[in-house]
Amino acid sequence: SQKIEQNSEALNIQEGKTATLTCNYTNYSPAYLQWYRQDPGRGPVFLLLIRENEKEKRKERLKVTFDTTLKQSLFHITASQPADSATYLCALYGSSNTGKLIFGQGTTLQVKP
Amino acid sequence: NAGVTQTPKFQVLKTGQSMTLQCAQDMNHEYMSWYRQDPGMGLRLIHYSVGAGITDQGEVPNGYNVSRSTTEDFPLRLLSAAPSQTSVYFCASTSRTEAFFGQGTRLTVV
């Protein structure tokens, strides 16, 4: 069956360091992959999208890589700040154009001052 | 500039009661979805729609009904609430490249 796995353990890092979050998937051939941020009590908010033919995408302090051979995406936050503390979700979108997004369980990031 | 509007924000139901969670979007998106979020489980897809009159089941559809009579609205109905449906529910409206979420409904079934 299709499966999306993110590290369920919280990631704790020091302010200024780079945070790296992992998203692995099996039995899936996504057209593209997305990353969302979710704060407590709020809905997820879109951050970045990377397509299957792209290796890397950047937006300000955020960088996403997408390896369709390894079936893995890495999400990096450079020069992390306490305000980056949140839960980060990866989501896969198939090529059937249904708007159907499948989410991983999310990884909670805590950036300590 | 409302985006996705979900109501209510909180709800307590007794086992066996029915209710409808409302969701409306003003972005003219074809795709809308309902998810539930439980601790440690991430977002699980309940039902989704690719346009008015067209709906399909997601990963966890049992106990829920949907309809899509207009592009704007996508209500989720709980037919006979059960304690296992205690969760936070999110409605999403999806463009070709990203999903926009409502504020969520925290539902408790006692």
Look at residue A20 in the predicted model and tell me its pLDDT: 96
Per residue in B13-41, pLDDT (tens digit) is 999 999 999 999 999 999 999 999 998 78
Per residue in A66-80, pLDDT (tens digit) is 998 999 999 999 999
Asked if residue A89 has pLDDT above 70, the reply is yes
User: Contacts of residue B41 in chain A, CB cutoff 8 Å?
Assistant: 105
pLDDT category, A97, cuts 50, 70, 90? low
What is the token pair recorded at B104?
A: 């969520």
Look at residue B1 in the predicted model and tell me its pLDDT: 62
Q: Do B104 and A42 touch (CB under 8 A)?
A: yes
Q: Tens of pLDDT along chain B (110 residues)?
A: 679 999 999 999 999 999 999 999 999 999 999 999 998 788 999 999 999 999 999 999 999 999 999 999 999 999 999 999 999 999 999 987 899 999 999 999 99
What is the token pair recorded at B82?
A: 């059960």
Q: Do A49 and B97 touch (CB under 8 A)?
A: yes
**B22 exposure class (CB count in 10 Å sphere: 0-12, 13-18, 19+):** middle
What is the token pair recorded at A99?
A: 């708007």
Residue of B nearest to A35 (CA): B98
Q: Do B99 and A44 touch (CB under 8 A)?
A: yes
| Nearest chain B CA: its distance from A35 CA (Å) | 10
Residue of B nearest to A4 (CA): B42
Do residues B34 and B94 lie in contact, with contact meaning Cβ atoms separated by under 8 Å? no
Per residue in A6-49, pLDDT (tens digit) is 987 899 999 999 999 999 998 888 878 999 999 999 999 999 99
Look at residue A32 in the predicted model and tell me its pLDDT: 86
3-state helix, strand, coil in chain A (%, to 5): 5, 55, 40
Look at residue B31 in the predicted model and tell me its pLDDT: 93
Range of lowest pLDDT (A1-10, A52-61, B68-77): A1-10
Phi, psi for A68 (deg, rounded to 5) = -75, -15
| Nearest chain B CA: its distance from A98 CA (Å) | 6
**Which residue numbers of B have CB closer than 8 Å to A's CBs?**
4, 29-33, 35, 40-45, 48, 50, 56, 58-59, 90, 92, 94, 97-104
Look at residue A6 in the predicted model and tell me its pLDDT: 93
